Each structure stands twice: as structure tokens, then as C-alpha cells.
């Protein structure tokens, strides 16, 4: 009986789970190996995961608040002109709703410099705001210029001369080609080239463009006139007569034709210029004659100063002309 009891083996004495079969041992070994591999893989991936998290956190901008006095404009900001009425409107909105969109800044010495949002910063100062929301970024000088330029172009905040000067700065200071500039601002190369051609205008004509007295289309026509006095005279006529771009093209062709024909006759440059100016004055004379219904003469010695002679046939005719002038009825 005792033998029979012992003959049931160790499994019977200690339970079926105490001694594992060969198959069970293999299964356990596989599970252990799998678990070890998983732990090992997890440890190997930890540095990679950490780097990914760092990159994700880096890309997400953190909005902070800074004292408005700790922020200064970017001296390389392409935009130089700020409409006072528009600034006041924005300031009124900020007073009512707060500054919704943060200003993008970068740390520079003891202060923060604006990369994008100078108009908002100016309006916030007018509104009396002491602290403003900002996103702090790290940029090189070239990146600061590019971001400021792109933001203003996207918002259509730059006047044509500011835009052209910004392109010129990227080329001169950062040695970029026109193709590279065009790629940065998502414009065609021809658009960048045509914009920069406006810098060839005289200062007076540039200011007329900035003030909205003439359009970029008008200005591009005038660029082909190299004589400063003639260019200014043409710009003045465009504004005074309300010429379209097409009419401006015709005017410029007429002026250039006169100057070219005079050149072929070997006239002096001064004579060429005087003839071109006289062509413009003749156009003025004809326009006044048609409007006033009487004979008109415009006399000019140097294209800058002169006098206008208006003829009248009677006292009633004189009164009629004076009445038209006083009431600005010269349409």
C-alpha cells in the first residue's frame, strides 16, 4: 500500500503545478523572453520619446504677459507708415475686448523686440494697456526681417515703397537673390522685380505714391522716364487730370517720343527736357480751354514757375469764369 502511494509520483504529492512539463517550461521561457524584450525595447525607446516630446513642446507657442514698457519696435521693421485714425479705432477695440492676438517678440539685450504686431503694440499703448500677451521666439537678424516682411505683406499693411525697400534690404544685407526673396514671400520673381523698380522714382513721386495720389500701376509707367523734372510733371498731371493707367501709358509714350526725336536731331539734353515739359503744359492748356470755354495760355520759363493767362470777352464772361473757379466747378 505504501509503495502504491509513493508510486503516484511527486505531482500527486505537491500538486500538478509544482513540476512543469517540458512544453510548459518552453511556454514559460517564451513569455519570459517576450516580457524581457518588451522591457528592453521600452528602455531603448525612452530617449527617442523624450526627444519627440521636446520637439512637440518646442513647436507649441507659449503665450506670456509682458509689461508694454519692456517691448520695443524692431528697427528693421519694413513698415514705416501707420494710419493714426486706424490706430485709434484699434485702440478703442482693445479697450473694449482686450488684445486678442498675441504680439510675437524676441529677447534682445535688456528688452524684447517686436517681430510681428507693432501696430497692435502701438494701439495698446494708446489704449493705456500696461501688460500685453506675447509669444517669445528666437530668431536671427535675417529671420526677424523675413518674418516681419511676410507678416506685413500677408496683411497688406505695407505701402508699395516700404515693400520695395524691404526686398532691397533682404538682397543688400543678407545677400539673397531675387528668386530667393520671391520664394520667401510666396510671390513671383517678376512681382518682386516690378516692386523694386519703384525705387528708381524721384523722392517727390515716391511720396505721391505713398500718399495714394498715384497708384503702383501709374508709378511703373513713370519709372521709364529718367528725367526727374519730366517725371514729376507727368505724375502731377496724372493726379490733376485723374488719368487711368492706360492714359498714363499714352502720356509717357508721347513724352518719350518727343525726347527721342529731339535726341535724334542732336538737341541738347536741356532742350529735350523743355520740349517734354512743354508737351505736358500744352495738354494742361487744352484741358483748361475746354473747361472754361475761352482762350488760355500757360507760360513757363523752367517748368517749375510760370503764369496762366485767361481771356474773357465781356464783364459777364469774366464773372462766369470767376464763378466757376470760386465754386471749383472745373469738372
Catalytic residues: 118
CB 190 within 8 Å of CB 236 = no
Helix axes 228-241, 269-292, angle to 10 degrees: 10
CB 122 within 8 Å of CB 88 = no
Edge-to-edge order in the sheet of strand 63-67: 63-67, 131-136, 103-108, 111-116, 71-72
Length of the chain: 331
CA distance 14 to 6: 12
Closest CA relative to residue 90, chosen from 116, 129, 133: 129
CB 232 within 8 Å of CB 222 = no
Count CA atoms closer than 13 A to 253's CA, side-chain side: 6
Amino acid at each position: 500500500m505504501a509503495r502504491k502511494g509513493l508510486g503516484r509520483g511527486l505531482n500527486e504529492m505537491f500538486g500538478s503545478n509544482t513540476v512543469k512539463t517540458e512544453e510548459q517550461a518552453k511556454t514559460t521561457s517564451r513569455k519570459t523572453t517576450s516580457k524581457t524584450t518588451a522591457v528592453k525595447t521600452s528602455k531603448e525607446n525612452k530617449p527617442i520619446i523624450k526627444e519627440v516630446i521636446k520637439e512637440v513642446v518646442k513647436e507649441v507657442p507659449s503665450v506670456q504677459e509682458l509689461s508694454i514698457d519692456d517691448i520695443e519696435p524692431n528697427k528693421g521693421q519694413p513698415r514705416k507708415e501707420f494710419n493714426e485714425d486706424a490706430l485709434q479705432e484699434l485702440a478703442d477695440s482693445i479697450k473694449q475686448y482686450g488684445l486678442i492676438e498675441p504680439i510675437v517678440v524676441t529677447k534682445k539685450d535688456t528688452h524684447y523686440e517686436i517681430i510681428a504686431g507693432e501696430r497692435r503694440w502701438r494701439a495698446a499703448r494708446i489704449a493705456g494697456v500696461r501688460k500685453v500677451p506675447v509669444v517669445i521666439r528666437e530668431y536671427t537678424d535675417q529671420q526677424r526681417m523675413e518674418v516681419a516682411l511676410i507678416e506685413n505683406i500677408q496683411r497688406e499693411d505695407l505701402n508699395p515703397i516700404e515693400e520695395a525697400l524691404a526686398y532691397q534690404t533682404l538682397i543688400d544685407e543678407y545677400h539673397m537673390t531675387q528668386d530667393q526673396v520671391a520664394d520667401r514671400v510666396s510671390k513671383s520673381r517678376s512681382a518682386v522685380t516690378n516692386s523694386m523698380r519703384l525705387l528708381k522714382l524721384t523722392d517727390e513721386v515716391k511720396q505721391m505714391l505713398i500718399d495714394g495720389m498715384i497708384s503702383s500701376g501709374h508709378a511703373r509707367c513713370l519709372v521709364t522716364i529718367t528725367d526727374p523734372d519730366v517725371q514729376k510733371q507727368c505724375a502731377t498731371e496724372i493726379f490733376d487730370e485723374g488719368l487711368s493707367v492706360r492714359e498714363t501709358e499714352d502720356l509717357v509714350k508721347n513724352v518719350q517720343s518727343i525726347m527721342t526725336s529731339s535726341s535724334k536731331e542732336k538737341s541738347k539734353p536741356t532742350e529735350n527736357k523743355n520740349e517734354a515739359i512743354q508737351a505736358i503744359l500744352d495738354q494742361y492748356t487744352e484741358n483748361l480751354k475746354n473747361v472754361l470755354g475761352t482762350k488760355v495760355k500757360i507760360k513757363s520759363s523752367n517748368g517749375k514757375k510760370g503764369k496762366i493767362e485767361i481771356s474773357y470777352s465781356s464783364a459777364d464772361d469774366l464773372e462766369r469764369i470767376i464763378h466757376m473757379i470760386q465754386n471749383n466747378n472745373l469738372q
